[in-house]
Amino acid sequence: MILAGVPNFPAVNAGLLRIGYYTNEGNYRCQRIKINVGAQMLTKPNCTVENYDLVFIQGKLFIINPAANAFSNLSEGIIRLKPSAELIVKE
């Protein structure tokens, strides 16, 4: 869970972030991601994200990667966006 009101928000600079309960590969792994209202997360150009479980966005998720596979929603992956949420993909 990524909370609002912290001095620094997380950023993944490079590598593969896999999201899902049974993922055992990737440079970084987590079961689920929840970005609260007022919070944000950034993935940089050398990072790719594979979602096999749940990404719940109430705040902002920035994907800064021009590659077609910068963010992949795979298998049973779910993305939930609240009305005020933002999923921002920049090249």
DSSP state of 25: -
* Domain that includes residue 50, residue range: 11-90
Residues 6+ apart with CB under 8 A from 7: none
Question: Is 1 a domain residue?
Answer: no
| 5 within a domain of the structure (yes/no) | no
Task: Provide the domain count of the chain.
Answer: 1
Residue-level pLDDT at 23: 67
Q: Which of 32, 69, 30 is nearest to 47 (CA)?
A: 69
Helix, strand, coil abundance in the chain, percent, nearest 5: 0, 55, 45
Q: Tell whether pTM > 0.95.
A: no
Tell me what pLDDT residue 7 has: 94
- CA 8 → CA 20, 40, 69, 70, distances in Å? 24, 9, 26, 23
pLDDT given for residue 75 in this prediction: 81
- Ordered per-residue pLDDT tens for the chain, 91 residues: 999 999 999 999 999 999 987 767 778 888 999 999 999 999 999 999 999 999 999 999 999 998 888 999 988 899 999 999 999 888 6
2 located within any domain: no
Structure tokens of 56?
């719940």
